[in-house]
Chains A and B, each alone.
Chain A
Amino acid sequence: MAVVFQKPKSLADIPLHYCPGCPHGIIHRLVAEVLDELGIEGKAIGVAPVGCAVMAYDYFNCDMIEAAHGRAPAVATGIKRCRPENIVFTYQGDGDLASIGMAETVHAAARNENITVIFVNNAIYGMTGGQMAPTSLPGQVTQTSPYGRDVNHCGWPIKVCEMLSTLEGPEFIARVAANNVKNVNQAKKAIKKAFQNQIEGKGFSLVEVVSACPTNWGMTPQQALKWVESDMLPYYPIGVYKDRTAAKEAAK
């Protein structure tokens, strides 16, 4: 019998702990498919964050390390500078990357570290039970913004791609989404490019994947995907925010 669908080699054959309807499983799969297709599973070293994806070290079959909260880009820098021949990536959430780890993120980008960053933005802290994230939308109700995020009190959401694309440093900054088939396919292309860039030595590539958290948003998975479309994507538009190589070629 012909096998028409199977797990990528780079993804371990064990159940993921994610809640029903959580897109982390899809995004893990995209990363794993890309590792397979580029034939880099054996060279890849992944850095897991603190947050819902903390146990990603069990899920990817490549070598993995668990970083302290927010420090994944620094840990990845250490690895890449020692082993430039390896493919080093981080997989981080919004609290990890855009709150406690913002300094590490910005400076890794500014140094154009030749690493790949997968940034999953679901506008909330999942693992700790639904607190306000740096990317929570204005008015969004969370455990620590019980009256809705008041931008006059705790500031505005951070648009990571827009911000990082102002830096000279990074090679490639793109935002994608994991809410429907079309967007998932597009997300995979961006992730593949982010790894391809590293293979070619081009430098820091970050792909932000706009995702959903049905559990902590208090929605069904279907409602959550709709909310991504209706509320998240208008605030966090999909697109390529920086592509140095493409820009250079266009300028020729």
Chain B
Amino acid sequence: MKTTQILIAGFGGQGILFAGKFLAYKGLMEELQVSWLPSYGPEMRGGTANCNVILSDTPVGSPIITAPDVLIAMNLPSLQKYVDTVVPGGQIYVDSSLIDAKVERTDVQVFYIPATQMAKDNGIATLANMIIAGHLLQNHPELSFTGTDAVVSKLVPPKKAALVELNMKALQLGKDYTA
């Protein structure tokens, strides 16, 4: 039995829920059992957002993640809040253009990716989320990179079809990133 619990956290507007949907759909494509659970609340721009994605080869029990295998932290409060909940041996992805702090734990793998800066430099300013997602795919063979274009096409509304290419560009940047 292999289950991966992914917690993505940051500000509203950073595409936290979208990145989660992408990973969930990718899991669905790989014939895994998946669940996607967003935080929800009154509509407030700039508030915090997080989402729980579980990928498993057996039916998902509780969709609520208390001890993630993978944490994607898109801002400092999120990193501080969740860093200690990650299981030993787990992974933490840090958007290092927004977070100066380093993870002090030594029992986890940490990937510092200046995703927001990379996105800006490449003219895809809102897609830091997908850069990190691309890097995550690289580290998770059970998800693989193949077929990501079909997943992105499914998620992007037809009216905004131009975004498919930009999302693919972001994923590729993340995939190719080396510290």
Contacts and interface: CB of A to CB of B under 8 A. Distances in A.
B61 interface: no
B45 A215 contact: yes
B45 A20 contact: yes
Interface in A117-150: 126-130
Given A19-B44, A20-B45, A216-B43, 13 more contacts: A17-B42, A18-B44, A19-B45, A19-B46, A20-B46, A52-B42, A127-B42, A127-B43, A128-B43, A129-B43, A130-B43, A215-B43, A215-B45
19 contacts: A17-B42, A17-B44, A18-B44, A19-B43, A19-B44, A19-B45, A19-B46, A20-B45, A20-B46, A52-B42, A126-B43, A127-B42, A127-B43, A128-B43, A129-B43, A130-B43, A215-B43, A215-B45, A216-B43
Contacts of B45: 19-20, 215
Interface residues of A, number: 12
A216 B42 CA distance: 12
Interface in B12-58: 42-46
A19 B46 CA distance: 8
A251 B120 CA distance: 68
A218 to B, nearest CB: 12
Nearest to A128: B43
Nearest to A125: B43
A126 B43 CA distance: 7
Interface in A28-45: none
A17 B42 CA distance: 10
Query: Which 6 pairs of residues, A with B, have the shortest CB-CB distance?
Result: A19-B45, A129-B43, A127-B42, A215-B45, A20-B45, A19-B44
Interface string A107-121: 000000000000000
Contacts of A18: 44
Contacts of A129: 43
A71 to B, nearest CB: 20
A129 B43 CA distance: 6
A131 B32 CA distance: 35
B123 to A, nearest CB: 21
A18 B91 CA distance: 35
Nearest to A19: B45
B159 to A, nearest CB: 13
Contacts of A20: 45-46
A128 B43 CA distance: 7
Contacts of B43: 19, 126-130, 215-216
Nearest to A18: B44
Nearest to A55: B42
A133 to B, nearest CB: 14
A210 to B, nearest CB: 20
Nearest to B46: A20
Interface in B97-120: none
Nearest to B47: A17
Nearest to A127: B42
A131 to B, nearest CB: 11
Contacts of B44: 17-19
A17 B12 CA distance: 14
Contacts of A126: 43
Most chain A CB within a 10 A radius of its CB, from B43, B45, B46: B43
B59 to A, nearest CB: 31
